């Protein structure tokens, strides 16, 4: 019985656009402004390895079908942001009204 009602809910989610999660607006960030590290010829280097928190629904505007990874504030990271593991670009995520989507994380 539980399984059946969950399936019905999922089905409703797909059919009702109001229940879809909001689309995030991505703004490219300069990693030097949000991550402590140095830019080298082979990419941006940090003292600590940066921990990511899993893939987001959003994909990189430059890399087809590459889902962005959520990066929270940590020792070398000053601002929570989204990271593309393919092109190593960093993005600020905001809602369509301009409010930051990652501000509370
Ligand atoms: Zn990318």
pTM: predicted TM-score of the whole model, two decimal places: 0.73
**Residue 2 alpha carbon to ligand 1 centre in Å:** 40
**Residue 86 alpha carbon to ligand 1 centre in Å:** 5
**Residue 79 alpha carbon to ligand 1 centre in Å:** 19
| Cα dihedral value 15, 21, 25, 31, nearest 10 | -140
Listed in sequence order, the DSSP H helices in the chain are: 2-15, 31-34
**Residue 59 alpha carbon to ligand 1 centre in Å:** 8
Q: What are residue 30's DSSP bridge partners?
A: none
Among all chains, which residue has been given the structure tokens 């989610």?
A: 13
pLDDT tens for each residue of the chain, 105 residues long:
555 555 555 554 556 666 677 789 999 999 889 999 887 887 778 888 889 999 999 999 999 899 999 999 999 999 999 999 999 999 999 998 999 998 755
C-alpha distance across the termini of the chain, in Å: 36
């Amino acid at each position: 019985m539980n399984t059946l009602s969950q399936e019905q809910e999922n089905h409703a989610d797909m059919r009702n656009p109001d229940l879809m999660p909001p689309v995030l607006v991505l703004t490219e960030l300069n990693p030097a402004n949000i991550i402590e590290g140095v830019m080298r010829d082979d990419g941006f280097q940090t003292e600590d390895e940066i921990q990511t928190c899993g893939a987001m629904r959003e994909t990189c505007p430059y890399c087809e079908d590459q889902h962005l990874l959520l990066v929270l504030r940590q020792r070398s990271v000053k601002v929570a942001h989204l990271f593309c593991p393919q092109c190593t670009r960093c993005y600020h995520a905001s809602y369509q009204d301009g409010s930051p989507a990652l501000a509370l994380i």
